[in-house]
Amino acid sequence: GGTGGTGGTGEVRFDGVSHAYGERPVLHTIDLRLTEHRIGVVGGNGSGKSTLARMINGLVTPDSGRVLVNGLDVAKHGAAVRRQVGFVFTDPDSQIVMPTVAEDVAFSLRRSTLSKAEVQQRVDNALRQFGLAGHADHPTHLLSGGQKQLLALAAMLVRDPQTLVCDEPTTLLDLRNTRMVNALLRELPVQLILVTHQLDLLTDMDRVLVVHEGRIAADGPPEPTLARYHELVLGS
């Protein structure tokens, strides 16, 4: 076992969350209770999706309202929340901290109570899962953007989080690796909150949220929600 990734889902709640960057309002009184296993988030550029995702791990603190993860206010208990929730964002450079691939994945487990041998085994498994086994000793700064994205995913998932929040995690990947990651994300026994432009990934989600101009414009099962998204954003 790890930190709770046993297939159960967490609860992520937004209670009256509003936010502005300077004078520019980007989220307007968001109320959400997310408990489903697989949740997709879609919306146009600049609609506020990344801001919403970043609030779940405290990278952005709301101007008003609260974000709660399993009852913990992220603004007050960020470290505890980050032990339960993994995050993978579009820019992998911001998440890679160690000089080599294997060290970077192992770094994720630095606070775990696992033995050295168990850490090694978990790291090996994670590297294999993401096709990085042959790159264990590779300097991280020499990886391609796509390899960095795979490394960021491996380093998050090695911790066996209860919930994984991904913001466009495959933008830098080639077709083969995009398929591999999509298949992994589909199978993982982890609660997934996935921001994506790949509409085909949303068709088998438990719930889809459409973010439009800083509001939740549609919310529900994939088919009617994506139909609404088409009307709203694509005007068809």
Binding footprint of ligand ADP on the chain (CB under 6 A): 21, 26, 43, 45-51
Of 123, 99, 101, which Cα lies nearest the Cα of 110? 123
Instruction: Give the nearest distance from C-beta 187 to ligand ADP in angstroms.
Output: 26
**Nearer of residues 101 and 195 to ligand ADP, judged by Cβ:** 195
Instruction: Give the nearest distance from C-beta 41 to ligand ADP in angstroms.
Output: 9
Phi, psi at residue 63, to the nearest 5°? -65, -40
Per-residue tokens: 15: 């209670």
Secondary element (H or E) of residue 69: strand 64-69
Instruction: Give the nearest distance from C-beta 43 to ligand ADP in angstroms.
Output: 5
Distance in angstroms (rounded) separating the CA atoms of residues 130 and 101: 12
**Nearer of residues 27 and 185 to ligand ADP, judged by Cβ:** 27
**Nearer of residues 146 and 214 to ligand ADP, judged by Cβ:** 214
Per-residue tokens: 172: 């830098």
Measured over all CA atoms, what is the biggest interatomic distance in the chain, rounded to whole angstroms? 56
**Nearer of residues 6 and 64 to ligand ADP, judged by Cβ:** 64
Instruction: Give the nearest distance from C-beta 19 to ligand ADP in angstroms.
Output: 9
**Nearer of residues 154 and 165 to ligand ADP, judged by Cβ:** 165
Instruction: Give the nearest distance from C-beta 45 to ligand ADP in angstroms.
Output: 5
Following DSSP, what letter does each residue of 194-235 receive, concatenated? EE-S-GGGTTT-SEEEEEETTEEEEEESHHHHHHHHIIIII-
